[in-house]
Amino acid sequence: MARVVVDVMLKPEILDPQGKAVQGALPRLGFAGISDVRQGKRFELEVDGELTDERLAEVHEIAEKLLSNPVIEDFSVYVEEFADDEDDEQ
């Protein structure tokens, strides 16, 4: 079992109103020096069994066909081993 992460971000040339809204809020909240914010999506997929090249190619296909819109978005796929949980504890 492995965790595969798919990050989906708007292409650089596409306007990102969500990111701009966050960026606009920062100075009002007292944070300076952030020159750009982009907001995208992160998907965590738990893949059963051994993660072969074939399975990884399948995840690529899922990312392209289901998780992203290739007209306006770029995606990247990477493997995050199952035992690791790198989330910060709150």
CB within 8 Å of 12: residues ≥ 6 apart: none
Pairing status of strand 73-80 against strand 2-10: antiparallel
Residues of this chain that bind a copy of itself (CB under 8 A): 1, 7-9, 19, 22, 25-26, 29, 31, 33-49, 55, 58, 61-62, 64-67, 70, 74-77, 86-90
Q: Please, which residue, 48 or 81, has the CB nearer to a copy of itself?
A: 48
Q: How far is the CB of 51 from a copy of itself (least distance, A)?
A: 10
Distance (Å) of CA 15 to CA 32, 33, 45: 22, 21, 28
End-to-end CA, the chain: 27
Q: How far is the CB of 81 from a copy of itself (least distance, A)?
A: 15
Q: How far is the CB of 32 from a copy of itself (least distance, A)?
A: 8
